[in-house]
Amino acid sequence: MLAQILIFIVGLVALVAGAELLVRGASRLALSFGISPLVIGLTIVAFGTSAPEMTVSVGAVLDGRPDLAFGNAIGSNIFNVLGILGLAAVIIPLSVHIQLIRQEAPILIGSAILLLVLSLDGSISGVDALLLTGLLVGYTVFLIVQSRAETLAPAEPVAGPSSRVVQVAFVVGGLILLVGGAQALVSAAVHFARTVGVSEVIIGLTIVSVGTSLPEVAASVMAAIKGERDIAVGNVVGSCVFNILGVVGLGGLAAAFMPGAASLPVPPAVLNFDLWVMLAAFVACLPVFLSGREIARWEGAVFLGYYCAYTAYLVMQSQAHDALQTFSSTMLSFVIPLTIVTLVVSLVRRTPH
């Protein structure tokens, strides 16, 4: 057990270090071509920090553990919105760019609905996976072209120690660390699941999803502290889109080429509960984004509280705890309705008349 714990820690460290190198190199390269900070957050930073989810999920599929792959992607999205946005907003209120409200939020919710529809038959087929990855490529190209057309500032020169060759080396080194760290993380997580008796779906939805989301935590929190709020919020939104279209899509493509497997199975528990939680979290962002274009500290605290409640529910469910029914009833009949009323009142009060 001690050896597995050490492997798990080493895997997390490698993931974080690899993502840091990847984001640093890719961000500098993007800036040198004159791409806006919001689009950098939505693409380069978001995709770079989501690379751990991609490598973990694809690695899990190749190892014959598809439940872990799908659960990791969905769990990471729930943690991104409720955990990371909440934590960053508690540290400093986050301004929301108008583009996120008009364009990115509808795309995020639309991608979640699409994934839900594709999952209704219990699996992500090769055709489904190809559709998801194709949409990701199209979305990325659209953002870059849009940003280049709207950005008036000249590209930032990259020279000396920050040469493009050095930045490319950072990207390559980051990818190597990400792949190695992901393999170590999956190995240790599966060992924990079997030892403790917890299903791999729960491990993927909680421990692995939070662990692979640590780069997003670091990127968004540091961006918020430094005043780069577009990057902080854009990183979370972009990561969620990437997890749906890219992580699930690439996982589905990997499963399609596995011997004896034609598709990526969707765990029934995730289809019946966690996918809906993810969609609800995305929809909950709309009134928060619209109410003054800022995520206030109290709203961030509400998001954090809901993530803690979600995690508590998963743990109690996996252990068949006696308090599960009482907990569920309290959340459904009191906490969630009260939160909805509070958000609606806040939106009405902060909307100009």
Most confident of 36-40, 113-117, 295-299: 113-117
Asked, for residue 161, whether it belongs to a domain, the answer is yes
Give Cβ neighbours of residue 250 (< 8 Å, ≥ 6 apart). 54, 57, 58, 129, 133
Most confident of 81-85, 120-124, 273-277: 120-124
Whether the predicted pLDDT of 58 surpasses 80: yes
Domain that holds residue 271: 2-284
Domain tally for the chain?
Answer: 1
Tell which wins on pLDDT, 322 or 139: 139
Prediction pTM value: 0.78
Average pLDDT across the chain, whole number: 79
Note the pLDDT of residue 216.
Answer: 76
Element (H, E) at 9: helix 2-32
Whether the predicted pLDDT of 228 surpasses 80: no
d(CA 157, CA 164): 10
Which of 251, 217, 189 lies closest to 20, judged by CA?
217
d(CA 239, CA 236): 5
In this prediction, residue 337 has a pLDDT band, given cuts at 50, 70 and 90, of: low
Give Cβ neighbours of residue 268 (< 8 Å, ≥ 6 apart). 122
In this prediction, residue 344 has a pLDDT band, given cuts at 50, 70 and 90, of: low
Note the pLDDT of residue 35.
Answer: 72
Q: Judge whether 239 and 216 are in contact, CB under 8 Å.
A: yes
| Nearest-10 Cα torsion for 279, 282, 284, 285 | 180
Q: Tokens in use for 51?
A: 């690379």
Asked, for residue 209, whether it belongs to a domain, the answer is yes
Asked, for residue 333, whether it belongs to a domain, the answer is no
Note the pLDDT of residue 190.
Answer: 73
Whether the predicted pLDDT of 128 surpasses 90: yes
d(CA 218, CA 38): 17
Whether the predicted pLDDT of 153 surpasses 60: no
- In whole angstroms, how far apart are CA 151 and each of 34, 86, 140, 143? 7, 30, 16, 12
Tens digit of each residue's pLDDT (9 = 90 or more) over 68-90: 788 888 888 988 888 888 888 88
Strands 294-295 and 123-125, by their bridges, are: unpaired
Q: What are phi and psi of 124, to 5 degrees?
A: -105, 110
In this prediction, residue 184 has a pLDDT band, given cuts at 50, 70 and 90, of: confident
CATH of residue 185's domain is 1.20.1420.30
Asked, for residue 302, whether it belongs to a domain, the answer is no
Note the pLDDT of residue 146.
Answer: 81
Asked, for residue 261, whether it belongs to a domain, the answer is yes
Geometric angle at alpha carbon 289, from 105 and 136, rounded to 5°: 15
Note the pLDDT of residue 245.
Answer: 94
Asked, for residue 324, whether it belongs to a domain, the answer is no
In this prediction, residue 117 has a pLDDT band, given cuts at 50, 70 and 90, of: very high
Asked, for residue 349, whether it belongs to a domain, the answer is no
Region 268-284: mean pLDDT is 86
Whether the predicted pLDDT of 276 surpasses 80: yes
| SS3 labels along 95-117 | ECCHHHHHHHHHHHHHHHHHHHH
Note the pLDDT of residue 118.
Answer: 95
Number of helices (H) and strands (E) in the chain: give both, helices first. 19, 4
Q: Judge whether 38 and 230 are in contact, CB under 8 Å.
A: yes
Asked, for residue 310, whether it belongs to a domain, the answer is no
Whether the predicted pLDDT of 279 surpasses 80: yes
